[in-house]
Amino acid sequence: MKKNLALSGARKDKGLTQEELAALLGYSKATVSNWENGYSSPSLSDAFKISRILNKDINKLFSGLYVQESYTDSVKESV
């Protein structure tokens, strides 16, 4: 399990709480916390949404981590 410090740092730099980011994405605070702490990963489409919301390059946020193509597909390594 690898923490996503880039995601948590970008969220904080944008001035958003986990709860606020979760609300923008339609998820719970726990979901964002799980992404940041490495317990789960966002779907690929959610990773792109997060990138847009935080105004950060998706590679900076998720490089070397895993994202899912969908909720039912297996986890894929990001590029």
Tens-digit pLDDT profile for residues 26-51? 999 999 999 999 999 999 999 999 99
Is the model's pLDDT at 79 over the cut of 70?
A: no
d(CA 60, CA 51): 9
The model carries a pTM of: 0.79
> Tokens for 5?
């410090």
Is the model's pLDDT at 71 over the cut of 70?
A: no
d(CA 73, CA 60): 23
Contact 47, 21 (CB under 8 A): no
